[in-house]
Amino acid sequence: MRLTQFSNFAVRILMYAGLRGDGPSTIPEIARAYGISLDHLKKAAAELGRLGYLKAVRGRSGGIRLAREPEAINIGEIIRQTEDKRNLVECFDPETNTCPLHADCKFRFALEEALEAFFSVLEKYTLADLVDERDKLAACLNMKISRRFPDGAEIPVAAIKPSEGCR
Amino acid sequence: MRLTQFSNFAVRILMYAGLRGDGPSTIPEIARAYGISLDHLKKAAAELGRLGYLKAVRGRSGGIRLAREPEAINIGEIIRQTEDKRNLVECFDPETNTCPLHADCKFRFALEEALEAFFSVLEKYTLADLVDERDKLAACLNMKISRRFPDGAEIPVAAIKPSEGCR
Protein backbone atom coordinates (compact mmCIF):
# COMPACT_ATOMS: atom_id res chain seq x y z
CA MET A 1 0.00 0.00 0.00
CA ARG A 2 1.50 3.27 -1.06
CA LEU A 3 0.44 6.87 -0.65
CA THR A 4 0.61 8.70 -3.97
CA GLN A 5 3.65 10.85 -4.58
CA PHE A 6 1.14 13.60 -5.25
CA SER A 7 -0.15 13.54 -1.64
CA ASN A 8 3.35 13.31 -0.27
CA PHE A 9 4.55 16.32 -2.30
CA ALA A 10 1.40 18.31 -1.52
CA VAL A 11 1.98 18.05 2.23
CA ARG A 12 5.69 18.81 1.85
CA ILE A 13 4.91 22.00 -0.10
CA LEU A 14 2.46 23.10 2.59
CA MET A 15 4.99 22.34 5.32
CA TYR A 16 7.58 24.45 3.53
CA ALA A 17 5.16 27.33 3.01
CA GLY A 18 4.06 26.99 6.64
CA LEU A 19 7.65 27.23 7.86
CA ARG A 20 8.22 30.28 5.66
CA GLY A 21 5.33 32.08 7.37
CA ASP A 22 4.23 35.33 5.78
CA GLY A 23 6.86 35.47 3.06
CA PRO A 24 6.54 33.87 -0.36
CA SER A 25 8.36 30.69 -1.40
CA THR A 26 9.15 29.57 -4.92
CA ILE A 27 8.64 26.10 -6.34
CA PRO A 28 12.29 25.77 -7.51
CA GLU A 29 13.41 26.66 -3.96
CA ILE A 30 11.12 23.98 -2.48
CA ALA A 31 12.29 21.42 -5.05
CA ARG A 32 15.92 22.13 -4.11
CA ALA A 33 15.25 22.00 -0.37
CA TYR A 34 13.67 18.52 -0.60
CA GLY A 35 15.74 17.33 -3.54
CA ILE A 36 12.66 16.41 -5.57
CA SER A 37 11.43 16.84 -9.14
CA LEU A 38 10.38 20.35 -10.11
CA ASP A 39 7.75 19.13 -12.58
CA HIS A 40 5.93 16.94 -10.06
CA LEU A 41 6.08 19.70 -7.49
CA LYS A 42 4.55 22.20 -9.92
CA LYS A 43 1.58 19.93 -10.49
CA ALA A 44 1.02 19.44 -6.78
CA ALA A 45 1.30 23.19 -6.14
CA ALA A 46 -1.19 23.97 -8.91
CA GLU A 47 -3.68 21.53 -7.39
CA LEU A 48 -3.17 23.03 -3.92
CA GLY A 49 -3.95 26.41 -5.43
CA ARG A 50 -7.10 25.06 -7.02
CA LEU A 51 -8.17 23.52 -3.70
CA GLY A 52 -7.68 26.83 -1.90
CA TYR A 53 -4.65 25.97 0.22
CA LEU A 54 -2.06 28.08 -1.61
CA LYS A 55 -2.19 31.46 -3.26
CA ALA A 56 0.15 33.16 -5.70
CA VAL A 57 2.17 36.20 -4.67
CA ARG A 58 2.79 38.40 -7.72
CA GLY A 59 5.86 40.49 -8.42
CA ARG A 60 9.62 40.17 -8.71
CA SER A 61 10.06 38.50 -5.34
CA GLY A 62 6.80 36.61 -5.75
CA GLY A 63 5.98 32.95 -5.40
CA ILE A 64 3.41 31.05 -3.39
CA ARG A 65 2.16 31.27 0.16
CA LEU A 66 -0.48 29.66 2.31
CA ALA A 67 -3.99 30.84 1.56
CA ARG A 68 -5.11 30.04 5.13
CA GLU A 69 -3.58 29.95 8.59
CA PRO A 70 -1.73 26.66 9.29
CA GLU A 71 -4.27 25.95 12.05
CA ALA A 72 -7.03 25.99 9.42
CA ILE A 73 -5.35 23.45 7.13
CA ASN A 74 -6.46 19.96 8.08
CA ILE A 75 -4.12 17.18 6.97
CA GLY A 76 -6.80 14.49 6.71
CA GLU A 77 -8.96 16.81 4.64
CA ILE A 78 -6.08 17.32 2.19
CA ILE A 79 -5.28 13.62 1.91
CA ARG A 80 -8.93 12.77 1.33
CA GLN A 81 -8.80 15.15 -1.64
CA THR A 82 -5.45 14.07 -3.07
CA GLU A 83 -5.98 10.31 -2.66
CA ASP A 84 -8.72 8.81 -4.75
CA LYS A 85 -10.52 6.45 -2.39
CA ARG A 86 -11.58 4.31 -5.33
CA ASN A 87 -7.95 3.35 -5.92
CA LEU A 88 -7.49 1.27 -2.77
CA VAL A 89 -8.66 -1.91 -4.44
CA GLU A 90 -10.01 -2.64 -7.87
CA CYS A 91 -13.50 -3.32 -6.47
CA PHE A 92 -13.81 0.15 -4.88
CA ASP A 93 -14.50 1.49 -8.34
CA PRO A 94 -17.57 -0.06 -9.97
CA GLU A 95 -16.05 0.80 -13.34
CA THR A 96 -12.96 -1.35 -12.82
CA ASN A 97 -14.39 -4.07 -10.58
CA THR A 98 -14.22 -7.59 -11.95
CA CYS A 99 -14.87 -9.51 -8.72
CA PRO A 100 -18.15 -11.45 -8.69
CA LEU A 101 -18.46 -11.03 -4.91
CA HIS A 102 -18.59 -7.26 -5.12
CA ALA A 103 -22.08 -6.53 -3.80
CA ASP A 104 -21.91 -8.78 -0.75
CA CYS A 105 -18.20 -8.80 -0.02
CA LYS A 106 -17.41 -8.21 3.65
CA PHE A 107 -13.71 -7.87 2.86
CA ARG A 108 -14.61 -4.79 0.85
CA PHE A 109 -16.71 -3.42 3.73
CA ALA A 110 -13.83 -4.04 6.17
CA LEU A 111 -11.39 -2.24 3.84
CA GLU A 112 -13.74 0.73 3.59
CA GLU A 113 -13.92 0.93 7.37
CA ALA A 114 -10.11 0.63 7.63
CA LEU A 115 -9.56 3.40 5.07
CA GLU A 116 -11.97 5.62 6.96
CA ALA A 117 -9.95 5.02 10.15
CA PHE A 118 -6.78 5.98 8.25
CA PHE A 119 -8.25 9.32 7.15
CA SER A 120 -9.75 9.95 10.60
CA VAL A 121 -6.34 9.76 12.26
CA LEU A 122 -4.94 12.29 9.79
CA GLU A 123 -7.90 14.57 10.49
CA LYS A 124 -6.64 15.00 14.05
CA TYR A 125 -3.71 17.02 12.67
CA THR A 126 -3.42 20.47 11.16
CA LEU A 127 -0.48 21.95 9.30
CA ALA A 128 0.32 23.91 12.48
CA ASP A 129 0.95 20.59 14.29
CA LEU A 130 3.34 19.44 11.56
CA VAL A 131 5.47 22.60 11.61
CA ASP A 132 5.45 23.44 15.29
CA GLU A 133 9.17 22.74 15.62
CA ARG A 134 9.86 25.51 13.16
CA ASP A 135 13.55 26.26 13.78
CA LYS A 136 14.56 22.61 13.69
CA LEU A 137 12.71 21.81 10.45
CA ALA A 138 13.86 25.02 8.76
CA ALA A 139 17.44 24.12 9.61
CA CYS A 140 17.04 20.66 8.07
CA LEU A 141 15.72 22.28 4.89
CA ASN A 142 18.47 24.89 4.88
CA MET A 143 15.84 27.65 4.94
CA LYS A 144 16.52 31.18 6.04
CA ILE A 145 13.49 32.12 8.09
CA SER A 146 12.56 35.16 10.09
CA ARG A 147 10.26 35.41 13.05
CA ARG A 148 7.59 38.06 13.46
CA PHE A 149 6.92 39.34 16.97
CA PRO A 150 3.62 40.62 18.36
CA ASP A 151 4.81 44.22 18.04
CA GLY A 152 5.30 43.71 14.28
CA ALA A 153 9.10 43.47 14.34
CA GLU A 154 10.54 40.80 12.08
CA ILE A 155 13.83 39.31 13.21
CA PRO A 156 15.85 36.88 11.07
CA VAL A 157 16.43 33.59 12.82
CA ALA A 158 20.18 33.03 12.97
CA ALA A 159 21.14 30.30 10.53
CA ILE A 160 21.00 27.07 12.48
CA LYS A 161 23.21 24.24 11.31
CA PRO A 162 21.26 21.14 10.27
CA SER A 163 21.37 18.96 13.35
CA GLU A 164 21.98 15.25 13.61
CA GLY A 165 18.20 15.02 13.71
CA CYS A 166 18.02 15.71 9.97
CA ARG A 167 17.63 12.71 7.62
CA MET B 1 -3.20 4.66 -2.10
CA ARG B 2 -3.57 1.13 -3.32
CA LEU B 3 -3.53 -2.23 -1.60
CA THR B 4 -1.19 -4.62 -3.39
CA GLN B 5 -2.80 -7.10 -5.74
CA PHE B 6 -0.97 -9.69 -3.69
CA SER B 7 -2.98 -8.89 -0.52
CA ASN B 8 -6.19 -8.71 -2.50
CA PHE B 9 -5.61 -12.12 -4.11
CA ALA B 10 -4.46 -13.67 -0.82
CA VAL B 11 -7.73 -12.81 0.91
CA ARG B 12 -9.78 -13.95 -2.09
CA ILE B 13 -8.05 -17.35 -2.06
CA LEU B 14 -8.74 -17.73 1.65
CA MET B 15 -12.37 -16.74 1.17
CA TYR B 16 -12.76 -19.36 -1.55
CA ALA B 17 -11.10 -22.06 0.54
CA GLY B 18 -13.23 -20.98 3.51
CA LEU B 19 -16.42 -21.32 1.46
CA ARG B 20 -15.31 -24.74 0.25
CA GLY B 21 -15.04 -25.96 3.85
CA ASP B 22 -13.39 -29.33 4.35
CA GLY B 23 -12.90 -30.19 0.69
CA PRO B 24 -9.88 -29.18 -1.38
CA SER B 25 -9.91 -26.42 -3.99
CA THR B 26 -7.54 -26.01 -6.90
CA ILE B 27 -5.81 -22.81 -7.97
CA PRO B 28 -7.12 -23.03 -11.58
CA GLU B 29 -10.65 -23.38 -10.21
CA ILE B 30 -10.18 -20.29 -8.00
CA ALA B 31 -8.66 -18.33 -10.89
CA ARG B 32 -11.70 -19.17 -13.05
CA ALA B 33 -14.19 -18.32 -10.31
CA TYR B 34 -12.76 -14.83 -9.83
CA GLY B 35 -11.62 -14.36 -13.45
CA ILE B 36 -8.06 -13.52 -12.40
CA SER B 37 -4.53 -14.49 -13.48
CA LEU B 38 -3.44 -18.00 -12.61
CA ASP B 39 0.22 -17.00 -12.23
CA HIS B 40 -0.45 -14.26 -9.70
CA LEU B 41 -2.78 -16.52 -7.80
CA LYS B 42 -0.16 -19.26 -7.60
CA LYS B 43 2.32 -16.88 -6.03
CA ALA B 44 -0.20 -15.68 -3.46
CA ALA B 45 -1.21 -19.28 -2.63
CA ALA B 46 2.43 -20.30 -2.18
CA GLU B 47 2.98 -17.43 0.22
CA LEU B 48 -0.18 -18.32 2.17
CA GLY B 49 1.21 -21.85 2.48
CA ARG B 50 4.49 -20.50 3.75
CA LEU B 51 2.68 -18.32 6.29
CA GLY B 52 0.69 -21.29 7.58
CA TYR B 53 -2.77 -20.34 6.31
CA LEU B 54 -3.10 -22.98 3.57
CA LYS B 55 -2.01 -26.58 3.29
CA ALA B 56 -1.69 -28.87 0.31
CA VAL B 57 -4.00 -31.86 -0.11
CA ARG B 58 -2.15 -34.61 -2.03
CA GLY B 59 -3.70 -37.04 -4.46
CA ARG B 60 -5.77 -37.12 -7.63
CA SER B 61 -8.54 -34.93 -6.27
CA GLY B 62 -6.05 -32.86 -4.29
CA GLY B 63 -5.52 -29.13 -4.10
CA ILE B 64 -5.34 -26.68 -1.24
CA ARG B 65 -7.39 -26.16 1.89
CA LEU B 66 -7.30 -23.97 4.95
CA ALA B 67 -4.64 -24.95 7.46
CA ARG B 68 -6.67 -23.42 10.32
CA GLU B 69 -10.31 -22.85 11.17
CA PRO B 70 -11.73 -19.66 9.55
CA GLU B 71 -12.26 -18.26 13.07
CA ALA B 72 -8.50 -18.51 13.66
CA ILE B 73 -7.52 -16.58 10.52
CA ASN B 74 -7.28 -12.91 11.35
CA ILE B 75 -7.61 -10.57 8.35
CA GLY B 76 -5.52 -7.75 9.82
CA GLU B 77 -2.77 -10.19 10.68
CA ILE B 78 -2.67 -11.39 7.05
CA ILE B 79 -2.62 -7.88 5.60
CA ARG B 80 0.16 -6.83 7.97
CA GLN B 81 2.19 -9.70 6.53
CA THR B 82 1.34 -9.20 2.85
CA GLU B 83 1.68 -5.39 2.85
CA ASP B 84 5.15 -4.05 3.49
CA LYS B 85 4.61 -1.16 5.89
CA ARG B 86 7.75 0.49 4.58
CA ASN B 87 6.05 1.02 1.21
CA LEU B 88 3.48 3.56 2.37
CA VAL B 89 5.80 6.49 1.73
CA GLU B 90 9.39 6.72 0.61
CA CYS B 91 10.48 7.93 4.06
CA PHE B 92 9.11 4.84 5.85
CA ASP B 93 12.15 2.97 4.58
CA PRO B 94 15.45 4.46 5.75
CA GLU B 95 17.09 2.91 2.70
CA THR B 96 14.96 4.81 0.19
CA ASN B 97 14.32 7.99 2.17
CA THR B 98 15.58 11.20 0.59
CA CYS B 99 13.63 13.71 2.69
CA PRO B 100 15.80 15.91 4.92
CA LEU B 101 13.00 16.21 7.50
CA HIS B 102 12.90 12.48 8.14
CA ALA B 103 13.95 12.31 11.78
CA ASP B 104 11.67 15.05 13.06
CA CYS B 105 8.80 14.87 10.60
CA LYS B 106 5.40 14.89 12.26
CA PHE B 107 3.71 14.09 8.96
CA ARG B 108 5.57 10.79 9.02
CA PHE B 109 4.49 10.14 12.62
CA ALA B 110 0.86 10.93 11.70
CA LEU B 111 1.02 8.54 8.73
CA GLU B 112 2.40 5.79 10.95
CA GLU B 113 -0.46 6.29 13.37
CA ALA B 114 -2.97 6.29 10.49
CA LEU B 115 -1.56 3.08 9.03
CA GLU B 116 -1.75 1.45 12.45
CA ALA B 117 -5.43 2.43 12.64
CA PHE B 118 -5.99 0.88 9.20
CA PHE B 119 -4.51 -2.46 10.30
CA SER B 120 -6.35 -2.34 13.64
CA VAL B 121 -9.73 -2.15 11.92
CA LEU B 122 -8.88 -5.21 9.81
CA GLU B 123 -7.80 -7.05 12.95
CA LYS B 124 -11.40 -6.95 14.16
CA TYR B 125 -12.30 -9.43 11.41
CA THR B 126 -11.59 -13.10 10.88
CA LEU B 127 -12.09 -15.15 7.74
CA ALA B 128 -15.23 -16.57 9.36
CA ASP B 129 -16.76 -13.07 9.36
CA LEU B 130 -15.99 -12.63 5.66
CA VAL B 131 -17.62 -15.90 4.58
CA ASP B 132 -20.56 -16.08 6.95
CA GLU B 133 -23.04 -15.67 4.10
CA ARG B 134 -21.79 -18.89 2.58
CA ASP B 135 -24.61 -19.84 0.21
CA LYS B 136 -24.85 -16.37 -1.28
CA LEU B 137 -21.11 -15.99 -1.91
CA ALA B 138 -20.75 -19.53 -3.25
CA ALA B 139 -23.55 -18.82 -5.72
CA CYS B 140 -21.81 -15.65 -6.92
CA LEU B 141 -18.64 -17.70 -7.50
CA ASN B 142 -20.56 -20.50 -9.19
CA MET B 143 -19.21 -22.97 -6.62
CA LYS B 144 -20.81 -26.28 -5.87
CA ILE B 145 -20.61 -26.59 -2.12
CA SER B 146 -21.85 -29.17 0.32
CA ARG B 147 -22.75 -28.77 3.94
CA ARG B 148 -21.59 -31.10 6.69
CA PHE B 149 -23.99 -31.75 9.55
CA PRO B 150 -23.10 -32.51 13.18
CA ASP B 151 -23.88 -36.22 12.65
CA GLY B 152 -21.22 -36.34 9.92
CA ALA B 153 -23.62 -36.39 6.96
CA GLU B 154 -22.54 -34.24 4.02
CA ILE B 155 -25.36 -32.87 1.90
CA PRO B 156 -24.76 -30.99 -1.37
CA VAL B 157 -26.26 -27.52 -1.30
CA ALA B 158 -28.63 -27.23 -4.24
CA ALA B 159 -27.05 -25.10 -6.94
CA ILE B 160 -28.18 -21.57 -6.29
CA LYS B 161 -28.36 -19.18 -9.23
CA PRO B 162 -26.12 -16.14 -8.87
CA SER B 163 -28.43 -13.49 -7.48
CA GLU B 164 -28.73 -9.86 -8.45
CA GLY B 165 -26.45 -9.28 -5.49
CA CYS B 166 -23.46 -10.57 -7.43
CA ARG B 167 -21.14 -7.99 -9.06
List the pLDDT tens digit at each of the 167 positions of chain B.
899 999 999 999 999 999 998 889 999 999 999 999 999 999 999 999 999 999 999 988 889 999 999 999 999 999 999 998 888 999 999 898 999 998 889 999 999 999 999 999 999 999 999 999 998 899 899 888 777 777 877 666 655 555 556 76
Q: Reduce the secondary structure of chain A to three states and give it as a string.
A: CECCHHHHHHHHHHHHHHHHCCCCECHHHHHHHHCCCHHHHHHHHHHHHHCCCEEEECCCCCEEEECCCHHHCEHHHHHHHHCCHHHCCHHHCCCCCCCCCHHHCHHHHHHHHHHHHHHHHHCCCEHHHHCCCHHHHHHHCCCCCEEECCCCCEEECCCCCCCCCCC
Q: Taking CB atoms and an 8 Å limit, are B167 and A2 in contact across chains?
A: no
Minimum-distance CB partner of A100 among B1, B101, B140: B140
The pLDDT of residue B154 is 67
Could you report the predicted ipTM of this complex, rounded to two decimals?
0.91
d(CA B160, CA A104): 15
The pLDDT of residue A167 is 67
User: What are the tens digits of pLDDT across the range A111-164?
Assistant: 999 999 999 999 999 999 999 999 889 989 988 877 767 787 766 665 555 555
Instruction: Give yes or no for A127 touching B (CB within 8 A).
Output: no
Chain B residues closer than 8 Å to A135 by CB: none
Nearest chain B Cα distance for residue A119, angstroms: 7
Instruction: Give yes or no for B90 touching A (CB within 8 A).
Output: yes
Q: What is the pTM of this model?
A: 0.90
User: What are the tens digits of pLDDT across the range A56-113?
Assistant: 999 888 899 999 999 999 999 999 999 988 889 999 998 989 999 988 899 999 999 9
At residue B124, φ and ψ (nearest 5 deg) are -75, -15
The pLDDT of residue B93 is 92
Nearest chain A Cα distance for residue B157, angstroms: 19
The pLDDT of residue B75 is 98
Q: Which of B77, B63, B75 is nearest to B33 (CA)?
A: B63
Instruction: Give yes or no for B162 touching A (CB within 8 A).
Output: yes
d(CA A125, CA B33): 43
Report how far apart, in Å, the C-alpha atoms of B28 and of each of A25, B11, B13, B34, B46 are: 57, 16, 11, 10, 14
Q: Which of B87, B112, B77, B78 is nearest to B7 (CA)?
A: B78
Q: Taking CB atoms and an 8 Å limit, are A104 and B132 in contact across chains?
A: no
Q: Are B47 and B9 in contact (CB under 8 A)?
A: no
